[in-house]
Amino acid sequence: MAKLKFGEVEENVVTREEFPLAKAQEVLKGETVAVIGYGVQGPGQSLNLRDNGINVIIGQRKDSPTWEKAIADGWVPGETLFEIEEAAEKATIIQYLLSDAAQIKVWPTIQKHLTPGKALYFSHGFGITYKEQTGIIPPADVDVILVAPKGSGTSLRRMFVQGRGLNSSYAIFQDATGKAKDRVIALGIAVGSGYLFETDFNREVSSDLTGERGSLMGAIQGLFAAQYDVLRAHGHTPSEAFNETVEELTQSLMPLVAENGMDWMYANCSTTAQRGALDWWKPFRDAIKPVVEKLYDSVVTGKEAARSIDLNSQADYRPKLEKELEELRNSEMWQAGKTVRTLRPENN
Ligand SMILES: NC(=O)C1=CN([C@@H]2O[C@H](COP(=O)(O)OP(=O)(O)OC[C@H]3O[C@@H](n4cnc5c(N)ncnc54)[C@H](O)[C@@H]3O)[C@@H](O)[C@H]2O)C=CC1
Ligand SMILES: CC(=O)[C@](C)(O)C(=O)O
Ligand SMILES: [Mg+2]
Ligand SMILES: [Mg+2]
């Protein structure tokens, strides 16, 4: 385990250099890994495991569109693709990658097959942390572990195919066999993580729910919408408002931030822009911080979990989510974005 300094704070990280794939294959040699669910993380993790030479099977509902997707990806019914219960029975390691709400419904089926010595793997601290709401309480004689890729399962797969790796956090909730640490790190490497950083289930879920509601997904759309609306209200055209709010950020400036940090991006802009950005980032921080505090409170008190469980366990949650996504897609800002994307030379 490498100790690395993040600012002044020292943390444990596991890299592929110190825990190479060959070691992961050795640890997982006798195991049957069942990936339960074939939504977003399921395909990413299972295809990477398969390409990395791990013995992996899929458990998925037969009457679902993703059963067909699994077949299209080369999983074979009766050989590597099974109904959820059959896969859970065959598994020595159960990777529970149903949606967090669906995990509650299917739990009795999984629980039945958690015989001593097996491992139960999550990619989110949700089910275990909010156990009063989820009822997910594993027996004491199984390992309970977590690898949470810090990004979409789609990116996990794409980056793996490109020879890159998405970073993931890992945690151990229960080590019943004495093998939990080897198992979790081996799985983390084998699902395609670039490196692994240590956490626990509680901290994983509270940071994750904050991040996705905040700067990663919720706050970013809120910031875009606020600025786009102000520019439009003052007579700017949709193309101008979209370019100055979104397109320039994703195409030109964020790649620079990703490459070498915010100061590097600033340094590659005009002194005029630097002056303004340095003056304005703090007022934005101060305005937004109370909202982030409110969000964090809503996460740690379990309100966000309750809302996800309530709304995402309704029979018609998919069409309802689709309707909300459609509203976003049909907003003027994202319709402008659609046209702007067609103008990128690489899309012609
Ligand atoms: N989407 C992502 O990229 C990320 C997800 N995670 C976590 O990974 C886990 C899996 O998430 P996703 O891949 O997004 O899941 P998802 O929402 O795509 O659903 C996965 C599967 O659940 C199945 N399913 C839904 N309701 C069901 C039911 N009642 N009975 C049986 N199967 C049902 C669906 O058929 C689908 O194959 C969650 O814990 C999530 O928080 C973590 C990091 C990123
Ligand atoms: C992609 C990811 O890590 C998220 C945003 O937390 C999620 O999909 O839950
Ligand atoms: Mg996340
Ligand atoms: Mg998340």
Taking only the tens place, the pLDDT of each residue in 52-110 is: 999 999 999 998 999 999 999 999 999 999 999 999 999 999 999 999 999 999 999 99
At residue 2, the pLDDT reads 87
At residue 1, the pLDDT reads 78
| 113 has catalytic annotation | no
Give the atom of ligand 2 at the shortest distance from the alpha carbon of 155.
1
At residue 82, the pLDDT reads 98
Cβ 212 under 6 angstroms from ligand 2: yes
Over range 266-279, report the average pLDDT: 98
**Percent of the chain clearing pLDDT 70 (strictly above):** 100
315 has pLDDT over 90: yes
258 has pLDDT over 90: yes
Over range 38-64, report the average pLDDT: 97
Cβ 42 under 6 angstroms from ligand 1: yes
Cβ 152 under 6 angstroms from ligand 2: yes
Over range 226-249, report the average pLDDT: 98
348 has pLDDT over 90: no
Closest residue to atom 17 of ligand 1, CA basis: 99
240 has pLDDT over 90: yes
- For domain 2-199, the question of CATH label 2.30.30.280 is answered with no
Give the atom of ligand 1 at the shortest distance from the alpha carbon of 126.
39
pLDDT class for 283, splitting at 50, 70, 90? very high
At residue 11, the pLDDT reads 92
**Percent of the chain clearing pLDDT 90 (strictly above):** 98
How many angstroms separate the alpha carbon of residue 257 from the centre of ligand 4? Answer: 23
**151 or 63, which is more confident?**
151
Cβ atoms of 57 and 35 closer than 8 Å: yes
Domain residue extents for the chain? 2-199, 214-347
Annotated binding-site positions = 208, 212, 244, 248, 270
CA distance 94 to 92: 7
Mean model confidence pLDDT for the chain: 97
Cβ 154 under 6 angstroms from ligand 2: no
At residue 63, the pLDDT reads 87
Cβ atoms of 40 and 152 closer than 8 Å: yes
Question: Would the ipTM clear 0.85, i.e. be above it?
Answer: yes
